[in-house]
Structure 1
Amino acid sequence: MDEGLYVGLISGTSVDAVDAAAVGFGAAGVRITAARAHPVPETLRRELLALGQGGSVDLDRLGELDTAVGRLFADAAVALLREHDIDPGRVRAIGSHGQTLRHRPAARLPFTLQVGDPSTIAERTGITTVADFRRRDLAAGGEGAPLVPAFHAALLRTPGRSRVVLNLGGIANITVLPGDPAAPVTGFDTGPANGLMDAWISRSRGDDFDRDGRWAASGRVAGELLARLLDDPYFAAAPPKSTGREVFNLEWLERHLQGPHAAHAPEDIQATLLALTAGSVARAVREHAAGTEELLVCGGGARNPVLLAALAAALPELAVATTDTCGLAPEWVEAAAFAWLARETLAGRPGNLPAVTGAGHPVVLGGIYPGARWPPDRPG
């Protein structure tokens, strides 16, 4: 039975765009029927990037940003539907991740903060919106992240084949999918990915990102610097664990670039940051996913051939491919995941995996903000 469409919206730690995906669920499986990268105004992007790296904001401006990002996300959903001639009445719900400004699961009073007012999204689109997914898991004793592994498990787990799904966004995270159906799915954030590389090339050259990894490929890995970066306690910490740009940012990098490391050429530092991503992922897979046969890569970093080559070299025992091989375009997997999470919430089903987040029990995630057509038919 066709359950209609759900729209997933997410802007990751790179704040390069709002990814919007219309996703259908039914007897034929899951299909991404339409997708769009909606631009973020440059002034807003710069402010969100600064705040995500630890900058401060007063309460008045925080409230304005919540509304501004909510309007941006609503515009992204409307543009997606118009561009692909999709009747909004077919969309059962929008699942909105929002834009993370802080993620502090290890604080004395743990919290996570995303902006992008869901009431604004529901009002401007007329579509029921599910949002604020992370805080319920945090309240149940979990990290509040990563949440996408539940989606990976639902779509990409195959009995008899041990897989790891690697998401390369601003931060890298893995989902361990054992071939044994009785074994639990696990996963965690492995460390930085595109976020640090984007920040460094922006600082050094004024570019938003390193297209195809070309600048990193022009440099040489600084071995001693790489070892120093990999010595950060986060990489040795046991899961469950999660992190973000408020930890792995330019300030973190600059602390390691003092003394003898200050003289490295900018392109060598970029090459080293790429090697840091590949090396920290390889360490995580070897320590926590023994017996894995295949690494499936998604996220924006899946389109970086230099990074994929570095991963293949660091994990020669694995077959490395993108989720294209499973029928899921890598750049839309996260947006599709939040469409799926919205569906789970409306159905009253838990969306977290306690073995991943460390929560005390499974919980239904997020809050529901009714649209013009409420209540919707209950999804199956």
Structure 2
Amino acid sequence: MGLAIGLMSGTSMDGIDVALIRTEGNALRVAQSDNGFVEPLGPTGYRPYSDEERALLRRALVDAESVTDRTERPGCLGEAEALVTRAHAEAVEAFLAAEGLDSRDIEVIGFHGQTVLHRPSERITLQIGDGQALASRLGIAVVHDLRGADVAAGGQGAPLVPVFHRALAEASGFSLPLAVLNIGGVANVTLIGSDRSLLAFDTGPGNALIDDWMRERTGHALDDGGRTAARGRPDGALLAWLLMHPFFVQKPPKSLDRNWFSHKLAGQLSTEDGAATLTAFTAQAAARALDHARETPLRWIVAGGGARNGELMRLLRHHVRVEITTADSVGWSSAFLEAQAFAYLAVLSRRGEPLTFPTTTGVPRPTSGGVLAEP
């Protein structure tokens, strides 16, 4: 039985998720509780970014726009990369101490890093974070740069988690077909067919537009529970215009950069109406994933920060019209599913097994990925 740690710092840039999983080869170990739910795969941890750290990461997004080569670190990118590496090391050290684990107990760490640029059409994706420095400090093997090989081969480099979604669904004994929707800064869906086939793609914006709107209008990092959006009314004309974007009729696989859409489009609306419009946009964009499904999922499982947004979940139920439940309610983890996934991907990477497929990222053939850094 192997132990692996996954680390995820998403496009919402709120902090670092840490998750432990147990694997047997490429099979997940889960346990059924008395009520039939799947017990969590392992303990989790979280290291928030400070306001100053988030400000630096936001500046890094701007400075990354000029990058044409993945080795470039213009502007504050070098400083931001050092921050990301240090913060992830601190997150792992605190997690090990809290769980009474030693670095020798962990076989591998899956290190996503912080995405600051994602332009697969130009065959470039950049996740800052020094995997070798992290491995050296922690004394644990680290698999990093998990998107690079896919993008270099012509894939979208995202989403990476579908193979984990399928493994987890199978370990949980869930009936197929099934949809797993992850709503982070950008939202992505995995459609698992009754024949175990995978189709995955970004559906559109996730929390990023809503979070940016709330930060600008109120100073708060998010719309807690979706309560601000629930008090507003969506602007129908703006919403219809947003949904006319060619991305939504583009056939998958497909992926988005966090900054493809801007919250500033709602700039003339009240705080409540702007939040309502951007929340409705996220929900309707996700529901349009069904336009590309070969089979109608029996149910949707929603993970990521969006699963805690009650108004967003209400709208999803309205538009999808089949059972929708949160990952937490089926014994998974809404908050840590992606971190768990990157632990699993690190295990697959070390075994040389494919992480991405033509139907998940558009890569020409099943492709492994990741760069191994030994301590």
**TM-score, scaled to structure 2:** 0.90
Structure 1 counterpart of 2:368, from 357, 364, 371: 364
Aligned equivalents of 1:300, 1:100: Cα separation in 2: 17
SS in 1 for 2:311: helix
2:57 to 48, 64, 81: 48
1:149–1:353: 8 Å Cα contact kept in structure 2? no
Shift of 1:286: 3.6
Q: CA deviation at 1:325?
A: 4.0
The correspondence for 1:340, drawn from 336, 339, 344, is: 344
**Which residue number corresponds to residue 9 of structure 1?**
7
- Pairing of 1:127-276 with structure 2 (within 5 A): 127-157=140-170, 161-181=176-196, 184-250=197-263, 254=264, 256-257=265-266, 263-276=268-281
Look up the match of 1:378. Answer: none
Q: Give the unaligned 5+ runs of structure 2.
A: 31-39, 67-72
The 1:104/1:163 distance shift into structure 2, 3 A limit, reads same
Aligned to 1:67: 82
In the alignment, what sits opposite 2:139?
Answer: 126
> Which region of structure 1 is more displaced relative to structure 2, 359-368 or 45-54?
45-54
1:322 maps to amino acid: T
Q: Work out whether residues 118 and 129 of structure 1, in 8 Å CA contact, stay in contact via their aligned partners in 2.
A: yes
Q: Which residue of 1 aligns with 2:334?
A: 330
- Match for 1:319 among 323, 331, 345? 323
3-state SS of 2:21 partner? strand
Conserved 8 A contact 1:102-1:246? no
Per-residue deviation at 1:63?
2.0
Which whole-Å CA distance do the structure 2 matches of 1:67 and 1:160 have between them?
A: 44
- Structure 1 unaligned runs (5+)? 372-380
SS in 2 for 1:8: strand
Deviation of 1:64 after TM superposition, in Å, equals 2.3
Residue 195 of structure 1: CA displacement? 0.5
Shift of 1:161: 2.0
Range that drifts further, 164-173 or 231-240: 231-240
TM-score normalised by length of structure 1: 0.89
Question: What root-mean-square deviation, in Å, do the aligned CA atoms of Structure 1 and Structure 2 show?
Answer: 1.9
C-alpha displacement at 1:160, in angstroms? 5.4
Indicate the SS of the match to 1:98.
strand
Task: Count residues in correspondence.
Answer: 356
| Residues in 2 aligned to 1:21 and 1:136: alpha-carbon distance in whole angstroms | 24
Task: Decide whether the 8 Å contact of 2:22 with 2:28 is kept in 1.
Answer: no
In 1, distance between residues paired with 2:49 and 2:346?
23
Distance 1:240 1:88, change over 3 A: same
Work out whether residues 130 and 342 of structure 1, in 8 Å CA contact, stay in contact via their aligned partners in 2: yes
Deviation at 1:352, TM superposition (A): 1.3
- In structure 2, the residue matched to 1:101 is 116
**1:176 and 1:284 mapped to 2: Cα distance?**
9
Is the 1:196–1:273 contact (alpha carbons within 8 Å) kept by the matching residues of 2?
Answer: yes
Displacement, 1:200? Answer: 0.3
Once the two structures are superposed, what CA deviation does each residue of 1:235-262 show, in whole Å capped at 9, x if it has no partner? Answer: 1211111012131234xxx3x44xxxx5
Contact 2:63 2:74 in 1 (8 A): no
Task: Answer yes or no: is the 8 Å Cα contact 2:201–2:254 preserved in 1.
Answer: yes
Once the two structures are superposed, residues 291-321 of structure 1 have per-residue CA deviations (whole angstroms, 9 ceiling, x without a partner) of: 22111111111111211111001111x1101
- Residue identity opposite 2:46 in structure 1: A
What's the secondary structure of 2:6's corresponding residue?
strand
Give the structure 1 partner of residue 37 of structure 2: none
Which residue type is aligned with residue 100 of structure 2? D
Letter in 2 for 1:216: A
The answer as to 2:36 corresponding to 1:38 is no
The residue type paired with residue 78 of structure 2 is G
Give 1:90's aligned residue.
105
Question: Which residue does 2:36 correspond to in 1?
Answer: none
Deviation for aligned residue 1:60 = 5.8
Distance, in Å, in 1 between the alignment partners of 2:59 and 2:303 is 26
The separation in 2 between residues aligned to 1:12 and 1:331, in whole angstroms, is 11
Q: How far does residue 353 in structure 1 lie from its aligned partner after superposition?
A: 2.1
Query: Residue 357 of structure 2 corresponds to which residue in structure 1?
Result: 353
